[in-house]
Amino acid sequence: MTAKFVSQNSWLMRYATGAKRCRTTTVYSSLSRQHGLCNGRSPARPVALRDSEQLSWLGAALARELEMSADTLCFDYAQDTFSNTFHVTAAQNNEIDTLLALAKTLRLRLVAITPDASALANLLPAVAPATCVAWRDDRQWLWAMRHQWGRRFTTEAENVSELSALLALGSDDIALFDSRRDPWEILERCHAPLPDRGADYTVALALAMSEVPG
């Protein structure tokens, strides 16, 4: 089975070809509150809930945080039992609907819809002891740590030192993939020829390294 990628408005869609069946898994995104989306933590409710109750409770908490109707949001979450919190990632339904419509038009069988910045966390094991992976284009920085990720405009930070200051990190804590360091070097085996400008493929490679339920 071959996995391929399409970029659309800071999202990546992973889809499969060459397989008769492919289970569809969707992972929703988050951006900043001013974009009407969020990525963050929510404290766990002190009493145990059934799955349906937990879903309703998280949806209500998320809607209050974003000051938006719960009906306009979709979200995914994972529980961190160590810190007794939920890691919640959310997006507006209309953005997801746009991506689903695009996939249908292109006749794609979706495996995942993933925000580009969050995918970078898959590269963290390969860049230790750095605790943050970063990539940039002319307009924005994408960054990811173990439990959080996001974006910053290049007008906010011109270089890694300024980005690290915004993230309260040291410069050595950030592994940046750029013209001096491309993502191919973290792979144990590569088959030539590799594309030029390898850093341009950083996010796609990070997504390819995701674990997708089969």
13 and 103 in a single domain? The answer is: yes
Q: Give residue 45's pLDDT.
A: 46
How many domains is the chain partitioned into structurally?
A: 2
73 and 85 in a single domain? The answer is: yes
Q: Give residue 53's pLDDT.
A: 77
1, part of any domain? no
Q: Give residue 111's pLDDT.
A: 75
Q: Give residue 34's pLDDT.
A: 32
34, part of any domain? yes
110 and 121 in a single domain? The answer is: no
Long-range contacts of residues 199-203, Cβ cutoff 8 Å, at least 24 apart: 199/135, 202/120, 202/123, 202/135, 202/177, 203/7, 203/12, 203/116, 203/119, 203/120, 203/135, 203/142
138, part of any domain? yes
33 and 107 in a single domain? The answer is: yes
Global confidence as pTM: 0.65
Looking at 81, 114, 147, the residue that finishes a domain is 114
Q: Give residue 6's pLDDT.
A: 39
Closest CA to 59 of 48, 45, 82, 46: 45
Looking at 114, 139, 165, the residue that finishes a domain is 114
Looking at 80, 114, 148, the residue that finishes a domain is 114
Domain interval for residue 72: 9-114
144 and 198 in a single domain? The answer is: yes
By DSSP bridging, strand 174-177 and strand 132-136 are: parallel
138 and 109 in a single domain? The answer is: no
Locate the DSSP E strands across 9-100: 11-17, 39-43, 73-80, 85-92
Q: Give residue 17's pLDDT.
A: 34
87 and 154 in a single domain? The answer is: no
* Count of positions (residues) in the chain: 214
Q: Give residue 129's pLDDT.
A: 94
108 and 180 in a single domain? The answer is: no
3, part of any domain? no
Whether 5 and 12 have beta carbons less than 8 Å apart is answered as: yes
Residues of the chain predicted below pLDDT 50: 1-49
4, part of any domain? no
CA atoms of 212 and 15, how far apart (whole Å): 11
